[in-house]
A and B are shown apart, each in its own frame.
Chain A
Amino acid sequence: MSRPESATALVTGASKGIGAAIAKALAEDGWNVGIGYRTDEAGARATLEAVEAAGGRGTLLAGDVSNGTGDDLVARAEAELGPVLALVNNAGVRADGLALQIDDEMWERVIDTNLTAAFRLTRRAMRGMVRSRYGRVINVASVVGPRANAGQANYAAAKAGLIGMTKTIAAEVARRGVTVNAVAPGFIETDMTADLPKEVVQAVPARRPGTPDEVAAAVRFLASDAAGYVTGTTLFVDGGMSA
C-alpha cells in the first residue's frame, strides 16, 4: 500500500542535529512535517524553513515530551497538517555518570524523555495508523544500549528499551500495514556529541564521525513505501562500530 494523501510525519527533537536532518529528508519525500521541539524555537524555525525550501508543509509544535504535556503533539499535528502516519521518536537527552554517581533524577530524566515519551507518543499515533492500515514508527536508538558505554547506564537502558519496544510493537501491528523500526546511530557530529574527545573516532572502523544527514537517509528509507516489509528491525548507522 502506498502512503495516503496529506500524510504527516511527526518528528520530535527536530530543532537541531539529527532531528532537523530527518525533518528535511521526510519533507523531500513529500511528507508534511510536524516539528517537535522543547525550547529552541529559533532552531525549530530554521528546520521549518528547510522543510519549506524542500517543497514541504510544516508546523512548529512546542512541548516537553518528558512530562506528558507533549502527548497532544499528535493531535496538534493532525489538526494543522493531516493524519500522522509517521512518527519519529528522536527527542533525547543525556545525563552521564558512572552508575555509582547517577542519582534518581538523572535516571528518571533520561528514561522519561528517551523511552517513556516514545511509548506514549507511539501509543497515541498508533490509533490513526491502525485505522488507516498504514503507518511508520521510527525510533532513534543508539549503538549505546546494544553495546556497553561506561558512563551511560541510564542512556543505555533507555535506548536498549527502545529497541525492545520496537520489536514487540512491530509484531503487534504488522498485519495492519504499520511498520515499527529503530535506527541506531553511532558517533554522529551534533551538539550532543560536541563535548566528546576527538579520539572517539579511533573506535569507529570508518575513522570518521557520521553526519545527521546519514542518519536521516536511513529514517527516510524506513518511512518510505519501499520499506513496507521491513519491520521490527534496527538499522545501525555507525560506521561499523557495532560490526
Chain B
Amino acid sequence: MATTVTPDQVEKVVTDALPQFGVDESQITRDATFEELDVDSLDLAELSQIIEDEFGVQLKGEDVAQIKTVGDAVDLVVSRAA
C-alpha cells in the first residue's frame, strides 16, 4: 500500500491528533519531545490507533517506547509504511 505515505501526511495526522490530548498546537514541532508536550503512555497508545486507522501501520508497545519526539514518530510511521 503505503509507498505513497509522505512525512508531511503523517505529520499532519499527528499534529491534528495531539490537541485532543490537551497539547497546545503552537508547541508542536518535529523536535518537541512527547515528555515536554505532556503526552503520556495512554495518549501514545491512542495516537498509535489513530495512525493505524489512517495508514494501516501497527505500532506495538515496544515501538512506542522508542519514540521520544514528534519527528521520531513521523519517521517511524513513514519507514513502516514504505
Residues of A participating in the B interface, judged by any CB pair closer than 8 Å? 127, 130-131, 172-173, 175-176
Q: Is the CB of A131 within 8 A of B46?
A: yes
What are 5 sample pairs from A and B whose C-beta atoms fall under 8 A apart? A127-B49, A130-B45, A130-B49, A131-B46, A172-B42
* CB-based nearest B residue for A176: B42
Q: In the complex, what residues of A have CB within 8 A of residue B49's CB?
A: 127, 130-131
Chain A proximity of B31: nearest CB distance (Å): 27
Chain B proximity of A188: nearest CB distance (Å): 35
Q: Say whether chain B's binding surface is mostly helix, strand, loop, or mixed.
A: helix
Bound complex: CA A176 to CA B49 (Å): 15
* CB-based nearest A residue for B45: A130
Bound complex: CA A127 to CA B45 (Å): 9
Bound complex: CA A176 to CA B74 (Å): 25
Bound complex: CA A131 to CA B46 (Å): 7
Chain A proximity of B51: nearest CB distance (Å): 13
Bound complex: CA A130 to CA B46 (Å): 8
Interface string of B16-59 (1 = CB under 8 A from A): 00000000000000000000000000100110010000000000
Q: In the complex, what residues of A have CB within 8 A of residue B46's CB?
A: 130-131
Chain B proximity of A126: nearest CB distance (Å): 9
Q: In the complex, what residues of B have CB within 8 A of residue A175's CB?
A: 42
Q: In the complex, what residues of A have CB within 8 A of residue B42's CB?
A: 130, 172-173, 175-176
* CB-based nearest B residue for A127: B49
Chain B proximity of A84: nearest CB distance (Å): 15
* CB-based nearest A residue for B41: A172
